[in-house]
Structure 1
């Protein structure tokens, strides 16, 4: 396994920590950019750089804010790609607003056939899928929806997504949270409301697929106690109008 770290405009202290880590030896490397080029373009650059140097079966992506519950998580990701038809896999990340997101291995298992997307914060991609269909679309720069777009492109090409249960924590706490917010503010100042722009782009591309995904069952599960689906009216005899 080769580990490559891409730093996008961090301060001198952080860059020195990365250099010290790489200097410990082993199959490690790092690259340093003067500014933040975004999630998709950054991962594309890492893939292309390492791909020129060596060949590998899988490309694993991990955000800098992710902590794992136990060692061996890389092996677990690889094992989850046993089906050769699977192009990308990873845990399903549950979003908790303004709180650290926690995913446990005991979380309810989603229906594999109905997985819509794998979040890029922790994901494993089969290299031959990238060779055939590419990685992230730079149209979504600097961030948001590029991972979902990638998943839909792979599914559209006849490939599969895989849910791989691994324990992880998104450490949006303390200094790390402040740093992420500062970087997000800098990106908004440079690119405007890129979240809304990329959301609109994704909807234009995939509306035919996304619209059926929002079922009454999904809405009830996501907003229990808030969403009230329309039920068939009942007559006095207890029968619904449709049954008569």
Structure 2
């Protein structure tokens, strides 16, 4: 974290790749490795997905970061950078996720824009900071003291964004379960010399489950919001 100004701070990942990331890369390499000496056409999509996933993990570790300054918050993701001025920021909020996964920290900080969209701030969570809640409070207090930001009341757009994010999160959990089940079925089919098309379902089935569950959870969340009014 920079000491130039009370509000100028940078949050980035450790330079050493942690053991869970190393194990995840090894698992990805094992899953997408060609079965024979030559790559079959049906294996190409899995090779591409494996390379993309591995590259994303490395870029998230070494490139992604969050930079805060008097002009706003810069979110440097694995692939692109976005700068959000303080005038467009509705709130910075620490959210609690009951299920901790590789891609979602248990106590991540999200930036909420005035238009209702939100961004997770890379490496601004309990994995990088000992006390993320106190750090967030200190950051917002510094922004208020400098006069670049003031607390705002939550609007319907922000609440709608929260419900959509919750729907995607629940749907992603279901998609992970569908992926695991499909991989197990494909492995059983391979060892038992069953139908070969089962392996081709590893990608489309979880994607279909993700979309279907999102639509269901999104509708449930909106229905609950209407009843709560």
Task: With the length of structure 2 as denominator, give the TM-score of the two structures.
Answer: 0.27
Task: With the length of structure 1 as denominator, give the TM-score of the two structures.
Answer: 0.26
Q: Which has the higher contact order (CA 8 A, sep 6+)?
A: 1
